[in-house]
């Protein structure tokens, strides 16, 4: 009986990995579509890599990420904020997630946009946050998100904040006796230029 070569074994492993990744992505896309159909039945959706903005250039690796037409930016500041959200979506996409940027809700009286979730990630509503300052901003951004949505993605854009520093800080933060934000939901962290990304349940940081 002919024994498989190392090359053929590696090829088979790669094929299985590709199949698993494709099946996972299809499941995540279906989960997003179910939420879209339920929550935003009348919205029009645009693939982000088809957009052309005035003040920023859409990254080439944004294929497969969608945005609500009503969410499109109308001025420079909105484009800059939108670009940050696209960068976050691209990072999650690299890890096999399906990401859709959803409509913002306006206050009917003031006309201002209300705080709320920014995206659907694998069938779950998420708030997107970026931290460029001190480590205390981790706690501030997280606490802000607890008032808006149970799930938050924090992209740490300060190279001085290592994974260890952030995780140690966050563990102390949610276990502090004065913390009142609860432990329901999920949290995602990304770090540095390599965009290393880690997925947790918030309760994972709670001490027994």
Say if 110 falls within a structural domain.
yes
Alpha helices in 47-191 (DSSP H): 76-94, 136-146, 163-175
What is the reported pLDDT for 108? 75
Closest-CA residue to 138 (of 118, 152, 126, 150): 152
- CATH no. for residue 35? 3.40.1350.120
Query: Which range marks the domain in which residue 159 is found?
Result: 6-205
Residue of 21, 18, 19, 17 lying closest to 29 (CA atoms): 21
Within the chain, where are the H helices?
A: 6-39, 76-94, 136-146, 163-175
Which residue carries 């201002």 as its tokens? 112
Over residues 96-137, the pLDDT tens digits come to 999 999 998 777 777 777 778 999 999 999 999 999 999 999
Q: What is the pLDDT of residue 4?
A: 61
- pLDDT tier at 90, thresholds 50, 70, 90: very high
What is the arithmetic mean of pLDDT over 4-11? 61
Query: What pLDDT does 2 receive?
Result: 54
CA separation for the pair 27, 166 (Å, rounded): 31
17 found inside a domain: yes
Overall number of domains in the chain: 1
pLDDT for residue 198 is more than 60: yes
Whether 26 is covered by a domain: the verdict is: yes
The per-residue pLDDT for 145 is 87
> Tokens 């934000």 sit at which residue?
181
User: In this predicted structure, what is the pLDDT of residue 70?
Assistant: 92
Determine the average pLDDT of the residues in 170-179.
96
The pLDDT > 90 percentage for the chain reads 72
CB count, 10 Å around CB of 154?
Answer: 23
In a domain, 1, yes or no: no
Does the CA dihedral 36-50-21-156 come out positive or negative? negative
**Cα–Cα distances in Å, from 11 out to 17, 19, 87, 94?**
10, 12, 32, 22
For the entire predicted model, the pTM comes to 0.86
Strand order in the sheet with 45-47: 45-47, 66-68, 99-101, 119-121, 124-131, 152-156, 186-191, 196-201
Give me the mean pLDDT over the 154-175 stretch.
95
């Amino acid at each position: 009986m002919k024994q498989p070569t190392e090359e053929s074994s590696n090829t088979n492993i790669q094929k299985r990995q590709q199949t698993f990744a494709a099946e996972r992505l299809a499941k995540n896309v279906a989960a997003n579509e179910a939420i879209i159909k339920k929550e935003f039945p009348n919205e029009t959706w645009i693939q982000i890599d088809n957009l052309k903005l005035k003040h920023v250039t859409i990254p080439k690796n944004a294929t497969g990420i969608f945005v609500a037409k009503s969410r499109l930016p109308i001025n420079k500041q909105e484009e800059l904020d939108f670009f940050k959200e696209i960068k976050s979506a691209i990072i999650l996409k690299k890890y096999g997630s399906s990401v859709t940027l959803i409509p913002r809700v306006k206050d009917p009286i003031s006309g201002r946009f209300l705080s709320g979730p920014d995206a659907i990630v694998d069938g779950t509503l998420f708030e997107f946050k970026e931290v460029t300052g001190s480590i205390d901003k981790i706690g501030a951004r997280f606490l802000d998100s607890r008032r808006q949505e149970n799930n938050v993605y924090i992209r740490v854009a300060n190279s001085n904040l290592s994974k260890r520093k952030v995780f140690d800080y966050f563990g102390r933060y949610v276990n502090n006796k004065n913390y009142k934000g609860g432990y329901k939901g999920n949290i995602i962290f990304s770090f540095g230029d390599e965009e290393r990304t880690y997925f947790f349940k918030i309760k994972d940081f709670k001490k027994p």
